[in-house]
Amino acid sequence: MEHPLSPDAVDAIRAQWLRERPELDTSSMAIIGRLSRSAMALQKRLNDTFGQYGLSGWEFDVLATLRRSGAPYCLAPTALFGTLMISSGTLTRQLQLLAERGLVTRLPNPDDARSLLVQLTAAGLALIDTAVVAHIANMDNILSPLASDDLAALDSSLTRLLAVLEAQP
C-alpha cells in the first residue's frame, strides 16, 4: 500500500479505507489522489507567481496564448476559447477586463464583420514577456528536487495518461 517515501495524506486515507473496507483495492485512489493534491498545490504556487505581476491564472493564460501565437499577437476569440478551459461568455467578460487594464485591444475582424479580434497591446506584451520568465523559473524551482530520470518518467507517464483521458468522451 505505501510508497517508499514517508507517509502522506493519501496514505492516511487509504489506511482508513483498508480498516473500513479491506476488500477494496485503493491503488487507483492513491494515484488520482496524489495527482489531485499535486494539482492543487501546484496551482497555488503558480498563482503566487502570477500575482506578483498583478495577474490571475486566467489572465496569464490569455496573455500567454496571444504571445505564443506570434506577431502581431492577435487571435479571434474562438481561437483563444479553444485553448482555454472556460465558457465563451466568461471569455468575453475576461477579455473586457483585460482591455480595461490596457493589456489587450479589440480590433475589427476583416474576415468577419460580426466579430472582433483580440490583440496584445505593448503593455500586455511587456507584461507577459516578463511574467513568463518568472513562471518558467517558478516551475523549474518547483521541480528542482526531482532527479532528471524521475522528471522524464513522470513526463512520459503523464503524457500517456493525458492521451487516454483526452481520447475518452
Would you say 103 and 120 are in contact if contact means Cβ atoms under 8 Å apart? yes
| pTM for the structure as a whole | 0.85
Would you say 77 and 95 are in contact if contact means Cβ atoms under 8 Å apart? yes
Would you say 117 and 108 are in contact if contact means Cβ atoms under 8 Å apart? yes
Q: Which of 137, 116, 129, 112 is nearest to 66 (CA)?
A: 129
45 to 21, 54, 76, 119: CA distances (angstroms):
35, 15, 30, 28
Q: What is the pLDDT of residues 40-76, one digit of tens each?
A: 999 999 999 999 999 999 999 999 999 999 999 999 8
Which of 66-70, 78-82, 84-88, 99-103 shows the lowest mean pLDDT across its residues? 84-88
CATH entry, 55-144, from 1.20.1050.10, 3.40.50.920, 3.40.50.1820, 1.10.10.10: 1.10.10.10
DSSP string, 137-152: HHHHHHHTTS-HHHHH
Of 7 and 68, more confident = 68
What residue ranges do the domains of the chain occupy? 55-144
Cβ atoms within 10 Å, residue 120: 26
Q: Tell me, what amino acid is at 15?
A: A
End-to-end CA, the chain: 31
Is beta strand 104-108 parallel, antiparallel or unpaired with respect to 74-75?
unpaired
Three cell numbers at 161? Answer: 495518461
Reduce the DSSP state of residue 80 to 3 states and report it: helix
Would you say 14 and 26 are in contact if contact means Cβ atoms under 8 Å apart? yes
Is residue 2's pLDDT more than 60? no
pLDDT band at 84 (very low <50, low <70, confident <90, very high): confident
